[in-house]
Amino acid sequence: MGLLESLFPAENFSLIAFILGMPLLGALVNGVWGRRLGKPAVRLMALSAVGASFLAAVVAFVALQHRVEVEGHEHVKLYWTAWQWMHANGGRSVTNVPIDVRFSIDALSGVMMLVVTGVGFLIHLYSTAYMAEDKAFWRFFAYLNLFIFSMLVLILGDNLPVLFIGWEGVGLCSYLLIGFWYDVGANTAAGKKAFIANRVGDFGLLCAMFLLVHYAGALDWTGIQSGANVLADNPAEAYRIHVWPIGGGTYQGIFAFLQPAHPVTISAATAVGLALLLGCTGKSAQIPLYVWLPDAMAGPTPVSALIHAATMVTAGVYLICRLSFVFVLSPFVMATVAVIGVSTALFAATIALVQNDIKKVLAYSTVSQLGFMFLGVGVGAFTSGFFHVFTHAFFKACLFLGAGSVIHAMHARIHDDVQAQDIRNMGGLKKYMPITYWTFLAATCAIAGLPLLSGFFSKDAILFEAFVNHSVNPFAQKLADRHSGAWAPPAMLGPSLYVAGVVAATMTAFYMFRLFFLTFHGDFRGWVIGRAPLAASRAGHGDLEDTADGEEAHDEGKGTHEHEHGADEHGGDHGHHEENLKDPGRAPHESPWQMTVPLIVLAAFSVFAGVLNPAPLTKKLALEHWLAPVFESAIKGTVIAREGAEHLELPLMLGGIGAFVVGSGIAYWMYIAQKGAPAARLAEQAPGLHRLLLDKWRIDELYEATVLSAVDALAETAAAFDQSFVDGILAKLTALVVAAFGTILRTLQNGVVHFYAAVMVVGLAAMGWFFVTPHPDATVTPEGNGDYTLVAGPGIGYGYRWDGDGDGKPDKDVFDGTQQIKLHLEPGKSIVIRLEVMNAFGLTNVRAIPVSRPSAPTMLEVGQN
């Protein structure tokens, strides 16, 4: 231990570099040279990278635990600063906010790190067998390693921008892995959908970042925590965020009707919380951004297990836990989190009730379970919410891997992806795949909430706290003193959340056991099992008896004659010749050890992980104690349990147990006792509802019709406007005006000499006439004090005759050389001077020149005095 501490001091815990570096190295090596390395080397690199990372993570965790013991009940963190990254300006007195590439391990990220590397390693191992025949093996592991790296950056990042690297990095890996078999358009479309839905969330995260920089003046966890109170405890109205009028101006003039009686403002804490929440709903697939996750099942099944169940999708919950001290400042945000969570849990569970695709059921179940986690953190039960993240990682990964094992077996003869994943084609697999069966059963019981299994404890703790907790604004008193109210959640919120949660849990138990019974019990419905004719066995592509060389040769052969499809085995049914499933074929087969070992390990954790926090049974809660320093200061004074909560613990537990009993009981009755007849009857009785549920409430279509088509229309309008108005009218019209002048002037330049001569004559004549006529003209110069000098314009042989007194008659009778006269005016008086001019030809002309003096002294006169 001493060696560990001297090697890695808390402020420079460079072991983090190794934990992060190994998966990155793996991604780099496999990504760049994978094609040349061959499968064994790729496998070695990928597994050793994640394995080494896991071992280092264990060492780091031990070091952390040691420090926690040494330092007592403190929030211990181990830091490693890689380098300075960039900076921003912010805070009250706008200062420099450095943003470094800095990582830290504390109690929360330590646990998460272990889960990610541990489960990640198991899934890597599983994938080596699952993906063994894929030509893009190397690409798969490069992406998978990159994902582990990004996820670790997300978890270990010590500030929001570094977390954001990981946040978008996992999004990118998810995008790449969903569209892994990119020659099927639907896969990449699903990938794009995931990325863009996540980007909407990222927009929220970006907003949260600039709000935090501005208000809290920091982006690292410690800094945000110490500056967070400003968010809610605003000293002045100006520090609140003005929603309407935008930014806090006033509407005047014709827009006055837009001005509300009282400006609509929210506290910065609410704004930050909602922005963060948007980010979290994107990543963690909650209403309204959950739509991408079910589509994401287009990726290979290990990806669904690792990214879309165990780790990435829980990043939103992790972020809420990480920034719990920001969320608790706004009870409104907390209530929103909880309500979104429970609605998602209910909503997704209803869809999962009727789905027939094994992965779709699990996907909606993931959405629903994430809803439970949101419910947990939304009611201030951060430990319980995070505990559910922890247990869910095991049982959901186990379920997905089990599903993968089943699909793998089905693929032996059913090559169509949709058909191979359809539970209506399965059944009775218990007999053929015992390990998959038992592990799947363990995980199903865990998720359904069989008492004493991991899922039971974590879900029960959430439901309990949902019932008893309520959030209060820590500055409610202060705000009341300033006559600005603080929002408080309604009293009925807790019980309502509890009831909705129990209903969702009941549905969970039902659909999970429905899935389980349909897959593993009853009779096998995929194909006729019997002794296969020899020819069929040779042709059967995924046939397990084939030697590896034969497999390769087969792949190559396929590659040559159907080049454009040949990248992989699972890329749809293109590469396969259809088999007649009526022909008898080999029974589905248990998977190889690389796939079953992870299943067994994960199943063991699904069963036993509950001992870490068996909330109602004992007061010795290991996880609660471990995480207490992280959440303690956040929930103190903000999350209040109702009176007598401790007595409610056991009664409320009955809800969870009831949910399990009722849900699994109905499933048993429907699918085992009655062989599915009641389900078919129900579907017949309410065909509309059944259809609607099968179509996932048609939310995708709703989004398509509203948001997407609106943006699309906006874009169409913008593009058309650009073409027609900006380029068409603004640019072309200007050009047209110039061109029109050109056309007019061009007619004059016709090249006909007669025409030019005529024009010249006309011009000369006009000039001659100008010189022949006299032009009387004079400039009036005020000299100040009412004195004015008038000077007549000169001309050849001009004689002048003035009417200087304004009587209408010339002062003199003859024209002479008097070019200039002076006169004086009283203030406010005006006069009309007449000037007559006679030129050398004796022609005369006359002009009246009005002169007036303003009544008040002009600026100029003042200046001259």
Residues numbered 100-139 forming contacts with other proteins, rule: CB under 8 A: 100-101, 128-130, 132-133
Cβ of residue 260: shortest distance to other proteins, in angstroms? 15
| Interface stretch with other proteins, choices 179-187, 421-429, 439-447, 642-650 (CB under 8 A) | 179-187
Least distance CB 398 / other proteins (angstroms) = 20
DSSP type of residue 726 = I
Other CB atoms within 10 A of residue 586 CB: 19
Cβ 151 to other proteins shortest distance, Å: 14
Cβ density class 223-245: b for 16+ within 10 Å, e for less: bbbebbebbbbbeeeebbbeeee
Q: Does 213 bind other proteins (CB under 8 A)?
A: yes
Binding-site member from 76, 211, 216, 228 for other proteins (CB under 8 A): 211
Is 828 exposed, middle or buried, given 0-12, 13-18 or 19+ CB atoms closer than 10 A? exposed
Binding segment for other proteins among 210-218, 419-427, 745-753, 759-767 (CB under 8 A)? 210-218
Interface with other proteins, residue 249, by CB under 8 A: yes
Tokens of 716: 């169409």
- Residues 237, 552, 646, 695: which binds other proteins (CB under 8 A)? 552
DSSP 308: I
| Cβ distance to other proteins smaller for residue 37 or 600 | 37
Q: Which single residue is written with the structure tokens 């978890």?
A: 155
Nearer to other proteins, 544 or 765 (CB): 544
Contact (Cβ atoms closer than 8 angstroms) between residue 417 and residue 572: yes
Sites for other proteins among residues 726-785 (CB under 8 A)? 726-727, 730-731
Q: Which residue of 17, 62, 86, 480 would you call a contact of other proteins, by CB under 8 A? A: 86
Q: How far is the CB of 727 from other proteins (least distance, A)?
A: 4
Q: What is the DSSP string of 21-67?
A: HHHHHHHHHHHHHHHHH-HHHHHHHHHHHHHHHHHHHHHHHHHHHHH
Q: What are phi and psi of 524, to 5 degrees?
A: -70, 130
Of residues 347 through 376, those in contact with other proteins by CB under 8 A are none
Task: Supply the DSSP symbol for 696.
Answer: G
Residues contacting 614, CB < 8 A, separation 6+? 452, 457, 621
Residue 311 Cβ, how far from other proteins at the closest point, in Å?
Answer: 19
Pick out residues in 313-342 that bind other proteins (CB under 8 A).
none
Under rule CB under 8 A, residue 568 binds other proteins: no
What part of residues 429-458 is at the interface with other proteins (CB under 8 A)?
Answer: none
* Residue 509, token pair as written in the block: 């138990």
Window 603-642: residues binding other proteins (CB under 8 A): none
- Residue of 5, 61, 210, 537 that binds other proteins (CB under 8 A): 210
Binding of other proteins by 94 (CB under 8 A): yes
Q: How many residues bind other proteins (CB under 8 A)?
A: 89
Nearer to other proteins, 102 or 834 (CB): 102
Angle (nearest 5°) at CA 634 between 159 and 210? 35
H-run or E-run covering 154: helix 137-156
**By CB under 8 A, residue 594 contacts other proteins:** yes
- 126 within 8 A of 302, measured Cβ to Cβ: yes
Residues 498/460, Cβ–Cβ less than 8 Å: no
- According to the binding rule CB under 8 A, does residue 200 interact with other proteins? yes
**Closer Cβ to other proteins, 193 or 801, answer by number:** 193
What residues are paired with 157 via a beta bridge?
A: 103
Candidates 544-552, 646-654, 768-776, 802-810: pick the segment binding other proteins (CB under 8 A): 544-552
| Closer by beta carbon to other proteins, 590 or else 624 | 590
CA neighbor of 453 nearest in space, from 463, 466, 441, 467: 441
Candidates 492, 548, 745, 796; binder of other proteins (CB under 8 A) is 548
CB of 862 to other proteins, least distance (A): 17
Name the minimum Å distance from CB 313 to other proteins. 19
Using the rule CB under 8 A, is 544 a contact of other proteins? yes
553 forms part of the interface with other proteins (CB under 8 A): no
The alpha carbons of the chain give a radius of gyration, in whole angstroms, of 41
**DSSP conformational letter for 541:** T
Q: Which stretch binds other proteins (CB under 8 A): 62-70, 391-399, 417-425, 725-733?
A: 725-733
- Look at the chain and count its residues: 865
Confirm or reject binding of residue 251 to other proteins (CB under 8 A): no
* Closest to other proteins by CB, 418 or 622: 418
Interface of this chain with other proteins, residues 398 to 417, rule: CB under 8 A: 408
CB of 533 to other proteins, least distance (A): 22
Q: Which of 238, 252, 253, 564 binds other proteins (CB under 8 A)?
A: 564
Q: Is 587 in the site for other proteins (CB under 8 A)?
A: no
**Is the alpha carbon torsion for 493, 269, 78, 73 positive or negative?**
negative
Question: Rounded distance, CA 304 to CA 301, Å?
Answer: 5
* DSSP letter string, 649-686: HHHHHHHHHHHHHHHHHHHHIIIIISTTHHHHHHHHHS
Site stretch for other proteins (CB under 8 A), options 114-122, 303-311, 368-376, 545-553: 545-553
Nearer to other proteins (CB atom), residue 67 or residue 135: 135
Q: In angstroms, rounded to a whole number, what is the distance separating the alpha carbons of residues 228 and 216?
A: 6
Residue 605 near residue 114 (C-beta atoms within 8 A): no
Binds other proteins by CB under 8 A, chosen from 5, 55, 182, 690: 182
Task: Assess 427 for contact with other proteins (CB under 8 A).
Answer: no
Q: Which is nearer to other proteins, 203 or 487 (CB)?
A: 203
Name which position in 109, 127, 159, 188 contacts other proteins (CB under 8 A). Answer: 188
- By CB under 8 A, tell whether 695 contacts other proteins: no
**What angle do the packed helices 454-468 and 434-448 form, to 10 degrees?**
10
Residue of 196, 266, 536, 597 interacting with other proteins (CB under 8 A): 196
Query: 350 or 405: whose CB is closer to other proteins?
Result: 405
Q: Rule CB under 8 A: which of 27-56 touch other proteins?
A: 32-33, 35-41
Region near other proteins per CB under 8 A, out of 159-167, 437-445, 450-458, 599-607: 159-167
What's the CA dihedral at 35, 40, 42, 47 to 10 degrees?
A: 170
**Ordered DSSP codes for 439-470:** HHHHHHHHHHT-TTSHHHHHHHHHHHHHHHEE
Task: Tell whether residue 214 is a contact of other proteins (CB under 8 A).
Answer: yes
CB of 408 to other proteins, least distance (A): 8
Smallest distance, other proteins to C-beta of residue 567, A: 7
Distances (CA, A) of 83 to 162, 553, 640: 12, 50, 41
| By CB under 8 A, residue 245 contacts other proteins | yes
Return d(Cα 105, Cα 59) in angstroms, integer. 12
Query: Using the rule CB under 8 A, which residue among 547, 618, 750, 865 binds other proteins?
Result: 547
List the alpha helices (DSSP H) in 216-267.
221-227, 229-232
Distance between CA atoms of 595 and 719, rounded to whole angstroms? 52
> Which phi and psi (to 5°) does residue 573 adopt?
-100, 15
Q: Which is nearer to other proteins, 275 or 453 (CB)?
A: 275
Scanning residues 503 to 542, which ones bind other proteins (CB under 8 A)?
A: none
